[in-house]
Amino acid sequence: MCHNVIDGRYYSLCQHFEAMSTRTHDCLEGSCIFSRRHVHNKSTCRGSCKRLMALPVRNPIRMSETECSNCVVKARGAGVGCQSPA
């Protein structure tokens, strides 16, 4: 199945991931509607084709041995909850 690859920064102290860019990984299957090798027109595609993408994959291209900015603000007691997905 095709899936999205999310490049981003990983914060090791709070274990949060901050997305920086996204790209699509092509599975190169003729039965996948998202692939560039899909064998027929998307509008005439019947139930035999895969219509779901696999879960996105996180690719940490930057590693920070600190906390993310949201967790730093939260630790200082500003009352703002961390908005980064864990």
Q: Per-residue pLDDT tens for 34-58?
A: 888 888 776 677 777 888 889 999 9
Q: Is the pLDDT of residue 18 over 80?
A: yes
Q: How confident is the model at residue 20 (pLDDT cuts 50, 70, 90)?
A: very high
Cα–Cα distance, 50 to 26 (Å, whole number): 13
Per the prediction, the chain carries an average pLDDT of 86
Question: Residues 20-45: what's their mean pLDDT?
Answer: 86
**β-strand partners of 50:** 32
Give the other-Cβ count within 10 Å of 26's Cβ: 13
Cα–Cα distance, 1 to 3 (Å, whole number): 6
pLDDT of residue 79: 52
